[in-house]
Amino acid sequence: MHLASQTLRRLISQTLGYPNNSVGDEAVEGRIRAEQINNIKRYLTWVLLANICNALVLVAAFRSSPLWHFSVAWASAVVFVCLYFGLRQRQAASARPTYVSLQAIHRAIRNSLLLGSLWATLPLIFFADASAGGQVIIACLCAGMLGGGAFVLASIPVAAIAFTAPIVVSSAVTIGHSGDTAYFLVAVLMVSYISVLWRGIYVYASQVGKRIASQVDAERNVRRDELTGLPNRLAFFEALQTAFSRFAHTGEHFAVLYLDLNDFKIVNDRFGHMAGDKLLVEVGRRLKDSTREVDLVARLGGDEFAIAVVDTQDSAIPTTSAARIVSSLDRPFLIDDREFNIGACVGIALAPTDGDTPERLLKNADEALYDAKHRPGVVIQLFDAGPRDAARRRRKLERDLIIALHRTEFFLVFQPIFNLKTKTVEGCEALLRWRHPTLGVQLPKEFMRTMEETSLITKVGQWVLVEACKAAVTWPRHIRVAVNVSAVQLQNAQLLSAIVNALSVSTLPARRLEIEITETAVIDDSEQVLANLNALRELGVRIALDDFGTGYSSLTCVRKLAPNSIKIDGTFVRELGADDRSRSIIRSLIFLSRDLGINVVAEGIETAEQLEFLQLNECNEGQGHFIGMPRLASEIGLYLSNPSTLETSAA
């Protein structure tokens, strides 16, 4: 008796859990349950509406029947239950869950049984006393609910049975007791058909379970290192992203340990890749044994491994973990009856102090590993963002800039320069941008200093001149293009030939090109600088003095250079509203420029108040985000071909 009871309970448990309990992996079972619930949610609103409509059909069918009051009460119960389920559904999260607990499945079964039992009362209450037409309607309603319910609940077999079984039993009993042989046969057919339907439901649910299990297995394989079975680089980066999200919500610190093996290449070269692979597998096992269960060990590739150490308020926990790892890997490895002594070095980076993104954190852990491998007697090294690291980052930036030029990652945007009196565009300033493959668009302040310290500024400067002139030659003929030239370029004898080449290649008239220089570029009175400026002036190229007013020799530069334009630095413009001295300086600069016959341009106009002040004080030209945003070369031409005015730009 006890054995039979256990067998029955096991059978019931397997039935309730099907197809989940055939997997044996809770994570996969949770995904299967999520798919089951999502399948029901997809049609739940419509099936509830169908329930309500069918209940109203019954009320309409019995409107002249003595059972009408009973039909209204019964239909009201159906409508109430459906509205309750519908409201519960709206209150639930709209996002599709990726993991669902077993309790959610039990709730679905319970709710299905409740609604199915309610429909099961329909034939029991109304069939015997209904007219022939009413009986047909009842039979049709029951058949429709059986089919619809089985379809919607097919992914959860027990829920489908819980809904349909009460309806089938009550319908079969009611029809079979009618005394008519034909009705009895209908009852038998109904039971037969629903048995086939249930079989189909179990097959469908089994397919859902197998499909989800295959998906999870495929996803795991994508994130699993084939050799060691450890998480791979993709899985490790995802774990770091999750750790950063957890830090944002809970403040839980973590760290990355980056390590590689000291003499692994010797093992591969002397004893072959098969021995090396076996060694890596054993290293993976020791790393798992040397770390906590909550920490993640991953193989990033080759002999490089990484460990994400969670819940670290300082360097003590990751340093202790690194010491255990080094001690574990210092022990000899026995591979194919050979003993190998390899050891390892570990670099440590703490989040978020040493990096606020997975890429930066892992890169800095790699920097620390580099230090550990190249400092005598050191096997564990915390990341140190000192001068050496800055120099290394600078070298990396230099390499990236060279690659950027070859890969055409540089591009230009053009910011309109408006005549503040006529409110029309007089020119555009060419601004250099770098579309970095991982960091996104970079402004010149991020890389210009490094570029000027190398010969790269000459090559990039030549490219900028050519591209800016090519773009400008397609614009209306009265609009000039302004190009910034650095102090390094101005001191280079090749500058003049680069400008002549750009004008020749593009066929742009020299008068439409304006070279913007800063006073620091000419402060040393070098012969090459003055020779270049004189040659440009003779060529017909305009000269603008940029960032005017920020240096100590602004007036001297004006006297010495006699520029076509001076550009008031944006810092003065931004302080117009709060600093009387800035207003006085700008008024003086405008008056001085007017007296000397020099065009004056105000930079950095960002508000209507700044614009109004400059217009009232008769500033010639202006530029800034408020009156004209920088545009790509592909966009600026169309913008300039239209009657662009200051008002439309500001709007």
For the segment 120-135, the average pLDDT, to the nearest whole number, is: 81
Encode burial over 88-112: b for 16+ CB neighbours within 10 A, e otherwise: eeeeeeeeebeebeeebbeebbebb
pLDDT at 137 exceeding the cut of 70: yes
Give the Cα separation of 380 and 325 in Å (integer).
Answer: 10
- Which residues share a beta bridge with 348? 257, 382
Among 219-233, 312-326, 476-490, whose mean pLDDT is lowest?
Answer: 219-233
What does the pLDDT read at residue 186?
Answer: 67
Mean pLDDT taken over the chain: 84
pLDDT digits (tens, 9 = 90+) for 195-248: 778 888 888 888 887 887 777 777 667 788 888 989 998 889 988 998 898 888
pLDDT digits (tens, 9 = 90+) for 572-621: 898 887 778 888 889 988 998 888 899 999 999 999 999 999 999 999 99
Domain 411-431+451-645 -> CATH class: alpha beta
Among 194-203, 305-314, 339-348, whose mean pLDDT is lowest?
Answer: 194-203
Give the Cα separation of 97 and 108 in Å (integer).
Answer: 15
Give me the residue spans of the domains in the chain. Answer: 15-221, 233-385, 411-431+451-645
pLDDT band at 651 (very low <50, low <70, confident <90, very high): very low
Instruction: Select the CATH number that applies to the domain covering 233-385 from these four: 3.40.630.10, 3.30.420.40, 3.30.70.270, 3.40.50.620.
Output: 3.30.70.270
pLDDT at 647 exceeding the cut of 50: no
Give the Cα separation of 502 and 342 in Å (integer).
Answer: 59
pLDDT band at 644 (very low <50, low <70, confident <90, very high): low
Give the Cα separation of 235 and 237 in Å (integer).
Answer: 6
Question: Side chain identity at 126, as an amino acid letter?
Answer: F
pLDDT band at 164 (very low <50, low <70, confident <90, very high): confident
What does the pLDDT read at residue 370?
Answer: 84
For the segment 8-29, the average pLDDT, to the nearest whole number, is: 57
The pTM score is 0.45
Among 27-31, 199-203, 216-220, 470-474, whose mean pLDDT is lowest?
Answer: 216-220
